[in-house]
Structure 1
Amino acid sequence: MVEILSQEEIEALLASLSGSEEVAQPSAPSASGVAAQVPGTGKADRRMPIAYEVYDFRRPDKFSKDQLRTMQMLHETFARLFSSTLSAYLRAPVHIDLISVEQIPYDEYIRAITSSLINIFSMQPLSGQALLEIEFDVVISMIDRLLGGPGTVVKRPQAALTDIERPLVENVVDRALGALRTAWEGIVSFTPIREGMETSAQFVQIVPPNDIVVSILFEIRVGETHGAMSLCIPYLLLKPILSKLSAQRWFSGSKRAPSQHAVLIAQQLQQTRVPLVAVLGSTRLMLRQILDLKEGDVVLLTRRTSEPIDIMVGNRVKFRARPGLRGKQVVVQIESIVTNKPIAKPNPSPSSA
């Protein structure tokens, strides 16, 4: 038999429902500090208001704030290492600044790419692939410098690189991956390997669209040209080492790094090009003598033919050598090494007319 609720029971039920709604959406405490009354009970609700945090199910947090902060620090190191390496390679000033580190869906990262060169690489033994993206104008400027130009950006349709350009860009990418490996050494050791290069983002699918990735954005300036550069590292690739991705571990690893950094700096210096000049001799002339010089005139130098000549590295005399010929090429034979001798400057006293 169906029981019929009395009027008192109905009012009590409505009061309890009304009280549940008030708990779910608590009102702000009054200025007087009096606790709010729970409807239908006549009693004060002394429970603390519940604070709800909005959660985006499409962009779940896979990385903690500490892990993101650690990646920010190590990629600041990467920016410094890569900028110094690239400066030596291009023989031009290069500045790279870290802009942001955030976790976003892979689809959002790809849709943000417009005109860029995308390099696919792996981080062995970690499983998966990552991306290094460089804005196309910056790539063109690098290519122009490597081919002997001033770094001019020539607007052209974004297409595949030529057979000459591709190895040049691959050398740049290899230097970037080397700097990345060094920056991560305090956390994990890996070997970066180039696996592909694309000019269209729609052909690059390293993870499903909704998978979370770490997007690391940089600003890169090569001479007068500036643009964007970014790294994309999937969560699934970093998942096995998340426990190591902490500021404490990174700092402890960085304390052991000075010797490694010294080796890296030495390696970079060994690849730096410096001018080497063979100085046959010198003399001093008055200005009117210089103005009177013409083709066929003979200028007497202070060095005798039997004396070795100076070989200068930068602004210092580093070697003594004998000049000669090998076929049709002028050569010098090193005879001795000069230590700590600066460039010899002419006597500033004026000569008499």
Structure 2
Amino acid sequence: MSEILSQEEIASLLNAAEQASDDLPAPQQAEPNASRASGLRSRTRAPIAYELYDFRRPDKFSKEQLRTLQMLHETFARLAGSSLSAYLRTPVNIDLISIEQVPFEEYLRSISQSVFNILSLPPLSGQAVLELEFGIAFTMVDRMLGGPGRAISRSVLTDVERPLVRQLVERLFAGLKSAWEGVVVADPTIEGMETSAQFVQIAPPNDIVVTILFEVRIGDQRGAMSLCIPYLLLKPITTKLSAQKWFATGPRRANHSTRNQITSHISSARVECAIRLGEAKMRTREVLGLKVGDIIRLDQGATDPVCLYVGNVPKFEGRPALQGSKLVFAISHPVSN
């Protein structure tokens, strides 16, 4: 059976508790503040480093991948500026301004009046957009037609201007292809041209795209150009978008690009070719005494092969022959070094 305390026992316990509390030393005046401060210190945590994250705009590319894309397109800007300068016969400067990843819908909202060139980049699957403001596009067209490069306040391309803008964009593609060779050997091709953003549908509105913004300067005229590439198009090569791999393939890419440029320029150059039938040494008085009907003896035998010279350099040996009423040269073998 449980023991029940009497009223006297309860009173004695209460008196003992009061005596124990009276025996404790009185707290000093500063102790409450100190205990409060220590309590605050115990409750106050060290600041935690954090970064804002918007789940509506998830980052698909790392900072290193964005830096690699920036280096690639800085090379593209330099090559494209040089190509357009030679084509338009006026200085053209293209500078990369920014690179960021945004939803496709936000990219379209940021552009009002521009020419949208929809392009494919085989072997990559998907489409990208090269956007060019009307002002800078009309400036280039005016230069192509022999004008000083005036901008026109108009947002519509005529049937004559469309193929001219297409030629300009294809010039830009040559620089884009060379800049990308270290990552992927792509072949940019125009799939369509639009002047309204609502007809540009290369990705769903909420899909992440990389937007690269450029500033184009032609004389006193300035304008913007941008390149929009969906993440799904670049996804197969994201592992190659590292500075280490890009620099590792840099010399090979530069050599290949330089070789192609030199070959394309040399292949259309004209060279002088000559066939020498022989030589003869004569005195000055013999040369002065030459007249019609005289015969000069050469050091070349009648059956010996003659040599074809390309720019004073012997290249091929062969024999002269007749083809109809024309004298031709039949090559037998190249001249060995």
Q: Same fold (TM over 0.5)?
A: yes
Give 3-state SS (helix, strand or coil) of 1:152's partner: coil
Cα distance, 1:233–1:267 mapped onto 2, change above 3 Å: farther
CA contact (8 A) 1:85 1:268 kept: no
Q: Which residue of 1 aligns with 2:116?
A: 118
Tell me, yes or no, if structure 1 residue 173 matches structure 2 residue 169. Answer: yes
Q: Which residue of 2 aligns with 1:70?
A: 68
Counting matched residue pairs gives 239
The structural deviation recorded for 1:46 is 10
Cα displacement string for residues 300-330 of structure 1 (whole angstroms, at most 9, x for unaligned residues): xxxxxxxxxxxxxxxxxxxxxxxxxxxxxxx
Q: Which residue of 2 aligns with 1:224?
A: 220
Please show how residues 23-102 of structure 1 align to structure 2 within 5 Å. Answer: 44=42, 49-102=47-100
- Measure the CA separation in 2 of the matches of 1:234 and 1:218: 18
Give 3-state SS (helix, strand or coil) of 1:214's partner: strand
Identity among equivalent pairs (%): 59
The residue identity in structure 1 corresponding to 2:190 is R
TM-score with structure 1 length normalisation? 0.62
Tell me, yes or no, if structure 1 residue 189 matches structure 2 residue 210. Answer: no
- Measure the CA separation in 2 of the matches of 1:215 and 1:267: 34
- For the aligned residue pairs, the C-alpha RMSD in angstroms reads 2.8
The residue identity in structure 1 corresponding to 2:105 is D
Cα displacement string for residues 90-134 of structure 1 (whole angstroms, at most 9, x for unaligned residues): 111100000001111111111111111110001111111100001
212, 232, 235: which is aligned to 1:236?
A: 232
The residue identity in structure 2 corresponding to 1:126 is L
194, 200, 216: which is aligned to 2:196?
A: 200
Tell me, yes or no, if structure 1 residue 128 matches structure 2 residue 126. Answer: yes
- Measure the CA separation in 2 of the matches of 1:213 and 1:113: 15
Cα displacement string for residues 37-82 of structure 1 (whole angstroms, at most 9, x for unaligned residues): 678xxx9479865433321011111100000000000100000010
- Measure the CA separation in 1 of the matches of 2:100 and 2:267: 35
- Measure the CA separation in 2 of the matches of 1:234 and 1:212: 6
Cα distance, 1:271–1:55 mapped onto 2, change above 3 Å: farther
The residue identity in structure 2 corresponding to 1:241 is I
- Measure the CA separation in 1 of the matches of 2:152 and 2:45: 68
Please show how residues 178-327 of structure 1 align to structure 2 within 5 Å. Answer: 178-266=174-262
Q: Which residue of 1 aligns with 2:22?
A: none
Cα distance, 1:47–1:141 mapped onto 2, change above 3 Å: closer
- Measure the CA separation in 1 of the matches of 2:145 and 2:153: 17
Q: Which residue of 2 aligns with 1:16?
A: none
The residue identity in structure 2 corresponding to 1:170 is R
Cα distance, 1:91–1:270 mapped onto 2, change above 3 Å: farther
- Measure the CA separation in 2 of the matches of 1:337 and 1:149: 40
Gaps (5+ residues) in structure 2? 1-34, 270-309, 313-337
TM-score with structure 2 length normalisation? 0.65
The residue identity in structure 1 corresponding to 2:181 is E
CA contact (8 A) 1:88 1:268 kept: no
- Measure the CA separation in 1 of the matches of 2:264 and 2:217: 20
The structural deviation recorded for 1:258 is 2.9
Cα distance, 1:89–1:271 mapped onto 2, change above 3 Å: farther
- Measure the CA separation in 2 of the matches of 1:271 and 1:118: 34
The structural deviation recorded for 1:196 is 0.4
Cα displacement string for residues 18-52 of structure 1 (whole angstroms, at most 9, x for unaligned residues): xxxxxxxxxxxxxxxx9x8678xxx9479865433
